Structure 1
Amino acid sequence: MVRRIPRRYFIHKITVEPYRGESSVGQTFGPPVEVRCFLDEQTRVVRSPGGEQVTSTSTVFADLDAIAPPQSLATLPDGRKTKVIQSKRRDGAGLGTPNHLEIHLE
């Protein structure tokens, strides 16, 4: 049985515009998608996909099917706009752990 974080704990909603890449006019993003989640606004140091240490102001816990690649734009419940530093899949593959996507925001 695949376990996940119970939906009742996803008391927040953020909006994510998934990063799609670079074009001749700059970065491109997909259409905004609402993501139900638990938002932990705690500052911590994380590593970016490039290996640099950066400061994350918030961590989002969402279902594994959420889409939030690095550099995506995110709008928090208070209206603050930020970027995704990294997304980590926490998939226990049947071990009974709560499967989720952990998203670190600038």
Structure 2
Amino acid sequence: MTRVPAYLLRHRITVEPYAGDSAYGPQYGPPVPGVPALVNPTPRMFRTADGRDISAAATLIAAPDLDCPLGSRITLPDGRTTTAVAVARHTAPGLPVPACTEVTCE
């Protein structure tokens, strides 16, 4: 399986993996700065897994091994902080296309 080429991942983001809820609100793991990604900041409509229609603030492509569970906090290159509402891992075993992780941010 090939990976998305590193030279295509021009942006750097910070990911704080969602660790669950506590009595004080959502908890996050330690921030991982400098994660290579390709960020598309164009807003678009998106339907979440629970059927809500939201306006997605950005979509990003990263390496296939990105640790970004739903609900993770992501800081985009322009400084905006968003939340991961959908995470898709794209693979095509046996085909000459790169594997990657696509994250849609609220």
Give the TM-score normalised by structure 2: 0.91
CA contact (8 A) 1:16 1:75 kept: yes
Q: What's 1:59 paired with?
A: 59
Distance in 2, Cα, partners of 1:53 & 1:93: 32
How big is the shift at 1:94?
2.5
Runs of 4+ in structure 1 over 6 Å off? none
Task: Give unpaired runs (5+ residues) of structure 1.
Answer: none
Identity rate, percent: 36
How big is the shift at 1:47?
2.1
Give the TM-score normalised by structure 1: 0.91
How big is the shift at 1:43?
1.4
CA deviation vs aligned residue, 1:28-85 (integer Å, no higher than 9, x gap): 1000013111111111122223232211121110001011111111111111111111
CA contact (8 A) 1:3 1:94 kept: no
Q: What's 2:21 paired with?
A: 22
Kindly report which structure 2 residues correspond to 1:24-103, keeping only aligned pairs within 5 A, or say none.
Answer: 24-34=23-33, 35-103=35-103
Distance in 2, Cα, partners of 1:30 & 1:91: 26
For residue 61 of structure 1, give the secondary structure of its aligned residue in structure 2.
Answer: strand
Quote the RMSD (CA, aligned, Å).
1.2
